[in-house]
Structure 1
Amino acid sequence: MKIKSILFSISAISCFSLSAQTKFQPADTEFYEPKPRVVQAASQVAPSDAKVLFDGKNLAEWTSTKTKGEAAPWTVENGIFTVKPGSGDIQTKENFEDFQLHIEWKSPEVIKGEGQGRGNSGVLIQGLYEIQVLDNNDNPTYVNGQAGSLYKQRPPLVEVRSGSDGWHSYDIIFKAPRFNADKQLVGKGTVTVLHNGVLVQNNTQIEGTTEYIGLPKLKAQSTGPIQLQDHGDLVHYRNIWIRPL
């Protein structure tokens, strides 16, 4: 045991000595290729490399989940679209894997109900993992079901309120879980969420589907749509774009 310790010490000293003798110049650790892509960013519009999922005019990028293949039935007016209660969820026509998603939402003008029955909707990543949309203002509910939570899995780090205009924004960075050829999980998915610019989910590990009843379920799915939930409330949405990563 002592011999091993002595040999380890000699090895460590030799490595340190070699490192100390190496003289680097600043240029030795600089590289210039490959260069990152140039992306034009603006405060009110999507980045230049983003795919716009709602441009304020129509729901051409979305489809109904209740009546497969049919147009999304939610109401579009004045650059905003609104949940049509009872019509079912809507989802993007396109599937995504890893991405950055921006979406803005607003609770109904007339607030009614309490808890989960108050301004409820949700952003379902790949149609499986829900980031909760809910009117949080003076509305007691379970914390892993409030706005900004990874539903029934992780509450937000802080509770964020809307500004004076009532609008909220979510910026979601998602890394999909990885599965091997036998559909075995080899890497859990993660999600980071900024709510009105405030970090509420910090590289949060996703344990599986966000179930209303019971524990998360593992579904071997590498890509999927962005889905918005019809929970019976007149929640509004606008300015939605996504950047596949």
Structure 2
Amino acid sequence: MKYKIVLTALLAGSFFMANAQNAKPEDTETWSPEPAVVTPGKTGADAPSDAIVLFDGTNQEQWVSAQDRSQPANWIINKGIWTVNKKVGNIETKKLFTNYQLHIEWRIPADIAGSGQARGNSGVFLASLGSGDSGYELQVLDAYKNKTYVNGMAGSIYKQFIPLANPARPPGEWQSYDVIWTAPTFNTDGSLKTPARVTVIYNGVLVENNVELKGPTLYIGKPEYKAHGPAAIKLQAHGDDSKPISYRNIWVREL
């Protein structure tokens, strides 16, 4: 029996060696379908040719009020910079998205006062689920020498995931997020099929590495999923007393 096993192994080895000798490089080459041609921006921060430009410094036509989507997003545009208008409140995109790549730049005022969560607080809701602060929030906050709970600092998925690093620049300097968002999917009965996943690069540094979200953001309590479809991207006008932050150069690529 032992000799039969050895003979079988030798024959199998000979067969695979013969196949390897007869193999050609083109046997493992794939030629189609060809990827779509995308012209990159002049820099990594510039929108590529297939991007939807959400804010280019000239108008806010891609946005509406999150409180009433029939109303415009009247934040303040000055010299290409878009500043939160807390009287207007949260705003969100007209267009609804599923999976996407997002680039967004933001700035904490140079003369910001206060500490902790009251220091330039805002948020990018990667999928908005209503008019208030509901959805999946990527925190925006001054994280430069500003102590707060670490699952609520800039770069965190608020109250869920601590950033892997803190690459914050000082207030007054522009910061950037590059985000890969994979929306959750749901079964026909409304139960969760696959959770949301997100990767975040903050000022060129990976801070969230394809993390699986536990559900939408909650300020109090544990998150849990409820079925939903495509959603807007929302920007928060936080209700604290700190000076409002500003945004620029926002674009998205649907995936």
TM-score by length of 1: 0.91
Query: What RMSD over aligned residues (CA atoms) do the two structures have, in Å?
Result: 2.3
**Quick check: 1:22 aligned with 2:29?**
no
Unaligned runs of 5+ in 2: 129-134
**Quick check: 1:173 aligned with 2:172?**
no
User: For the residues of structure 1 that align with 2:162 and 2:191, how far apart are their CA atoms?
Assistant: 28
Q: What do residues 43-69 of structure 1 show as CA deviations (whole Å, max 9, x unaligned)?
A: 152100000000211110000112331
**Quick check: 1:122 aligned with 2:123?**
yes
Secondary structure of 2:82's counterpart equals: strand
Paired AA for residue 219 in structure 2? Y
Paired AA for residue 135 in structure 1? D
Aligned to 2:74: 73
Aligned to 1:236: 246
User: For the residues of structure 2 that align with 1:139 and 1:104, how far apart are their CA atoms?
Assistant: 20
**Quick check: 1:203 aligned with 2:222?**
no
CA gap of 1:13–1:48, structure 2 versus 1, over 3 A, is: farther
Give identity over the alignment, percent.
47
Aligned length: 241
**Quick check: 1:160 aligned with 2:167?**
yes
Paired AA for residue 50 in structure 1? A
Secondary structure of 1:126's counterpart equals: strand
User: For the residues of structure 2 that align with 1:8 and 1:86, how far apart are their CA atoms?
Assistant: 80
User: For the residues of structure 2 that align with 1:223 and 1:94, how far apart are their CA atoms?
Assistant: 9
CA gap of 1:140–1:183, structure 2 versus 1, over 3 A, is: same
CA gap of 1:59–1:19, structure 2 versus 1, over 3 A, is: same
Unaligned runs of 5+ in 1: none
Deviation (angstroms), 1:86: 3.3
CA gap of 1:64–1:8, structure 2 versus 1, over 3 A, is: farther
Is the CA contact (8 Å cut-off) linking 2:144 and 2:171 kept in structure 1? no
User: For the residues of structure 2 that align with 1:8 and 1:161, how far apart are their CA atoms?
Assistant: 63
TM-score by length of 2: 0.88
Is the CA contact (8 Å cut-off) linking 2:108 and 2:172 kept in structure 1? no
User: For the residues of structure 1 that align with 2:120 and 2:181, how far apart are their CA atoms?
Assistant: 25
CA gap of 1:22–1:162, structure 2 versus 1, over 3 A, is: same
Paired AA for residue 140 in structure 1? K
User: For the residues of structure 1 that align with 2:173 and 2:6, how far apart are their CA atoms?
Assistant: 63
